[in-house]
C-alpha cells in the first residue's frame, strides 16, 4: 500500500512539474505568436500602402501599419519586463512564418484591383485568426469580456499577456470590421446592420 501511494505521489509530482513548465511558457508562446502575426501585418500593410490601387485600401494599409507597429511596441515592453523578471533574454529578430511568407510572395506579384481584392481578403482572414488567438489567450486566463485592471502582474499566471490580449482585441475587431466593410464596398454592396 505504501509503495502504491509513493508511486502515485511521484507520478503526480512529475506531472505537476510538466504542467507548471508548460503553463509558465504559455505567455511567452503567445507573445512570440503575437509578435510574428503583427510583424507580418506590418509587412503586408507597408506593401499595400505602396501598391494599392484603391485609396480605401491604401488608407486601411496605413492604419494597419501604424496600429500594428504600436502593438509591436507593447509586445516588446512585455518581453522586456519578462526578461527583467526572469532573466531570460528574447530574440529581437522576428521571422514571419512560412504561410505569411507565402502570402507576401503571392501578393507581391499582383497589381491593381486584383491586388486590392486579394490584400483585403487576406486582412479579413488574418484578423479573424488574430482575434481567435487573442480571445483564446485572454479567456484562458480568466479575462473574457471583463477587463481586470491591475497594476501588479503575476508572470507565472500570464496575467500581463492576458491583459494585453484583452486590451488589444477592440483594435483587432475594428480592423476586421473595416476590412469587411471595404470588401463589401469593393463588391458594390452596401452594409446594413
Domain that holds residue 32: 25-186
- Determine, yes or no, domain membership for 20: no
Distance from C-alpha of 7 to C-alpha of 44, rounded to nearest angstrom: 54
Packing angle of the helix pair 159-186, 112-140 (nearest 10 deg): 150
The CATH number linked to 60 is 1.20.1260.10
Does a structural domain hold residue 193? no
Inside any domain, residue 11: no
Quick check: is 116 in a domain? yes
* Number of structural domains the chain divides into: 1
- Give the integer Cα–Cα distance in Å for 42 and 28: 21
Contact 107, 121 (CB under 8 A): no
Domain-embedded: residue 51: yes
In a domain, 98, yes or no: yes
Identify whether 91 is part of a domain: yes
* Ordered per-residue pLDDT tens for the chain, 193 residues: 566 655 655 555 454 444 433 444 578 899 999 999 999 999 999 999 999 999 999 999 999 999 999 999 999 999 898 877 766 666 567 788 999 999 999 999 999 999 999 999 999 999 999 999 999 998 886 665 544 444 344 444 678 999 999 999 999 999 999 999 999 999 985 444 3
- Does the residue 56 lie in any domain? yes
pTM of the model: 0.76
24-29-35 Cα angle (round to 5): 140
Amino acid at each position: 500500500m505504501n509503495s502504491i501511494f509513493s508511486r502515485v505521489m511521484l507520478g503526480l509530482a512529475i506531472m505537476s512539474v510538466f504542467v507548471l513548465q508548460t503553463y509558465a511558457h504559455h505567455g511567452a508562446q503567445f507573445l512570440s505568436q503575437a509578435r510574428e502575426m503583427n510583424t507580418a501585418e506590418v509587412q503586408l500593410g507597408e506593401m499595400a500602402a505602396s501598391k494599392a490601387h484603391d485609396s480605401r485600401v491604401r488608407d486601411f494599409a496605413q492604419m494597419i501599419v501604424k496600429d500594428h507597429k504600436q502593438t509591436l511596441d507593447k509586445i516588446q515592453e512585455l518581453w522586456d519586463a519578462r526578461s527583467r523578471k526572469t532573466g531570460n533574454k528574447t530574440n529581437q529578430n522576428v521571422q514571419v512564418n512560412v504561410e505569411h511568407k507565402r502570402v507576401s510572395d503571392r501578393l507581391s506579384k499582383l497589381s491593381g484591383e486584383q491586388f486590392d481584392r486579394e490584400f483585403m481578403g487576406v486582412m479579413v482572414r488574418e484578423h479573424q485568426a488574430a482575434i481567435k488567438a487573442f480571445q483564446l489567450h485572454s479567456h484562458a486566463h480568466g479575462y473574457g469580456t471583463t477587463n481586470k485592471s491591475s497594476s501588479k502582474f503575476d508572470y507565472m499566471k500570464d496575467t500581463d499577456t492576458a491583459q494585453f490580449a484583452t486590451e488589444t482585441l477592440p483594435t483587432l475587431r475594428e480592423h476586421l470590421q473595416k476590412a469587411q466593410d471595404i470588401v463589401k464596398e469593393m463588391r458594390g454592396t452596401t452594409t446594413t446592420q
